[in-house]
A and B are shown apart, each in its own frame.
Chain A
Amino acid sequence: MPSGSEATRRAGGVLRLAALLAGAGLLLSFPALAPNPYILSAGITVLNYAVLSTAWSLVGGFTGYISLGHGALLGLGAYGTGLLITKAGLPSFVALAAAAAIVALLAVPVGFAALRVRGASFVIVSIALVLILLLVFQSWASFTGGSRGLVVPRPFPDLTRPEHHRVFFFLFAGLLAAALATWWAIDRSRFGLGLRAIREDEDKAQALGTPTFAFKLAVFVVSAAFTALGGGLYALWFGDLDPVFQFSVLTGAYMVLMALLGGVRHLFGPLLGALIVGWALEWFKLQYGDTPLHLVATGLLLGVVVMFMPDGVIPALSGLLARFRPGEASIREVTAAELPASQARGPRA
């Protein structure tokens, strides 16, 4: 290994660490910088999206299994937390942890059934899961509150509204950090290596001795737990649940869009996607009110991403940067003098 590349790599590592710390600092100072509680709550929404899309990319990014059904796990986490507080009388954060654990347990049989099929079939199975749960939670009104919704008591009743937002901003930031750390740890492990092999070619991975099914199931359970935590924390923050919004194919589609937009093969891809999509959604709602226009914009964005940046923004941008770096371009102009003598003797010479 030449020492030059080693030094470059170390410099890159220092640079990356500095960028990470700067990003974290910026994130944590957001509540102090936000001019009003509305902006702060928009920030929380974006963070929630970031948690969810990072959790989604644990399955969708590593294994390439595109789940549109993560809305179901989100809804179960939210309703599980709310119901454990209102019906079982558990303290808020105990209920949150218990709900996530229950969803993780449920994810075992769900994953066992759904992960047997690949490609389009898997997508359809995952959508079916959301729709079934939506019907169940709407119809079982005596238990879930049905379409009238479920009011979740606030965990900190003494706080004012802005204080409440501030606390939850940091709670969501902590959850996001945990999700990112999990993603990072898996990416570096042998487990992650096996998962990425599944994404590339599941049959080949299996032929080499990777326990593909067990791996898919394990990462699905981890992803489900984080999705449920995101949903549950949202329930504690927002305080009001409606099946239509909790068990929504649209929410699942947002997770996919954000992850794909940012780039599923990069740690911060889903986070970046959430920043872009989350901000855009809020902007559209603010400008045009409660019209379906933001859905049109979302659809267009998804189309643009799939057509022009199938690997996401991060690879597209780094590809663009690499093009401007001298000497690294794949095609560059070379003077005749630079060509080796043997090559210079072209047909025109």
Chain B
Amino acid sequence: MASEFLLELNDIQAGYGRAAPVLRGLTVKVPPATVVCLVGPNGAGKSTVLKVASGLLAPRSGRVVVDGADVTGQGPQQLLAAGLAHVLQGHSVFREMTVAENVLLGGYTLKDRAVIQERIEFVRDLFPVVDERWRSLAGLLSGGQQKQVEFARSLMVSPKVVLLDEPSMGLDPKATSTVFDQVVRMREAGTAVLLVEQNARRALETADIGCVLDLGKVHISGPAPQLLADPQLSELYLGGRPAEPPTTPKR
């Protein structure tokens, strides 16, 4: 079923246990071949959005739709089958296994050997590091390289949407840059990406659409360059404008 959006989160209310909801009527839509980036202060609900989107947390109300199919309340494995891959925060490669084995595990749900071979060639082509270090133990790779192995692993099942949770966490600026370049390549390969980042400015420079979360709702959304150019937004959420020297907060 073709749909205008590959991932839709419609009017989501979600939270943990009996506590007050973290998400209060949040709506995010990800079109094909687009990077949508969620930014916002700590506690705004960024991680909760990803938990709901990946099936780890069932929303109290609202609908999760993947490419036109309603998958609200289904678990991670069903969502994976529906075309939604989740790259976890931090390092999540299998360290004691080779890069090749890591990538193969990403395609574990695939049955057809020809398809598996085709996907392997695709990801090795897309991520040069994966190709170069194919036989190395994944644990011996640097943080940025491991991230790319995780990307490759998630792309094995030809997902429609990839959820990226803080891909730059723990990486130096150069590795961060490489990782974001790879996010762009994923988009160019036709995948829709929902990106959550602390490194808001860098993420918005990569993304097509930015959504600023605050208090469990999308506060502002629009084309990423526009958000970056907005001085008020910059002041509130991106820690001041980059061109200006740091000023002492007036409080």
Cross-chain contact of A207 among B76, B81, B95, B101 (Cβ < 8 A): B76
What secondary structure prevails in chain A residues at the interface with B?
helix
A197-B97 contact, Cβ under 8 Å, with A204-B92, A205-B105, A209-B109:
yes
In residues 211-241 of chain A, which contact B (Cβ within 8 Å)?
none
Is residue B96 contacting chain A, with contact meaning CB distance below 8 A?
A: yes
Q: How far is the CB of B130 from chain A (nearest CB, A)?
A: 14
Structural contact, B97 and A210, CB atoms closer than 8 A: no
* A193, A201, A209 pick with most chain B CB within 10 angstroms: A209
Structural contact, B97 and A200, CB atoms closer than 8 A: yes
Structural contact, A197 and B94, CB atoms closer than 8 A: yes
Structural contact, A200 and B77, CB atoms closer than 8 A: no
Is residue B153 contacting chain A, with contact meaning CB distance below 8 A?
A: yes
Residue in A closest to B80 when the chains form the complex, CB atoms: A209
Is residue A208 contacting chain B, with contact meaning CB distance below 8 A?
A: yes
A206-B105 contact, Cβ under 8 Å, with A196-B97, A197-B94, A200-B94:
no
Chain A residues with CB under 8 A of B88: 204, 207
Chain B residues with CB under 8 A of A194: 105, 108
Structural contact, B95 and A200, CB atoms closer than 8 A: yes
Which interface class (under 10, 10 to 19, 20 to 34, 35 or more) fits A?
10 to 19
Structural contact, A210 and B105, CB atoms closer than 8 A: yes
Q: How far is the CB of A56 from chain B (nearest CB, A)?
A: 20
Is residue B106 contacting chain A, with contact meaning CB distance below 8 A?
A: yes
Q: How far is the CB of A268 from chain B (nearest CB, A)?
A: 19
Is residue B86 contacting chain A, with contact meaning CB distance below 8 A?
A: yes
Cross-chain contact of B108 among A196, A200, A201, A209 (Cβ < 8 A): A209
Q: How far is the CB of B6 from chain A (nearest CB, A)?
A: 20
Q: How far is the CB of B114 from chain A (nearest CB, A)?
A: 15
Residue in B closest to A5 when the chains form the complex, CB atoms: B135
Q: Measured between alpha carbons, how far is A208 from B103 in the docked complex, in Å?
A: 10
**B116-155 CB contact bits vs A (8 Å, 1 = yes)?**
0000000000000000000000000000000000000100
* A200, A201, A206 pick with most chain B CB within 10 angstroms: A200
Q: Measured between alpha carbons, how far is A206 from B108 in the docked complex, in Å?
A: 10
Q: Measured between alpha carbons, how far is A7 from B101 in the docked complex, in Å?
A: 22
Chain A residues with CB under 8 A of B96: 196, 200
Q: Measured between alpha carbons, how far is A204 from B108 in the docked complex, in Å?
A: 12
Given contacts A193-B104, A207-B80, A208-B80, 5 further A-B contacts (CB under 8 A): A190-B108, A193-B108, A196-B101, A206-B77, A209-B108
The 3 A-B pairs of least Cβ separation, nearest first, read: A209-B109, A200-B94, A209-B108
Q: B residues within 8 Å of A by Cβ?
A: 76-77, 80-81, 86, 88, 92, 94-97, 101, 104-106, 108-109, 153, 157
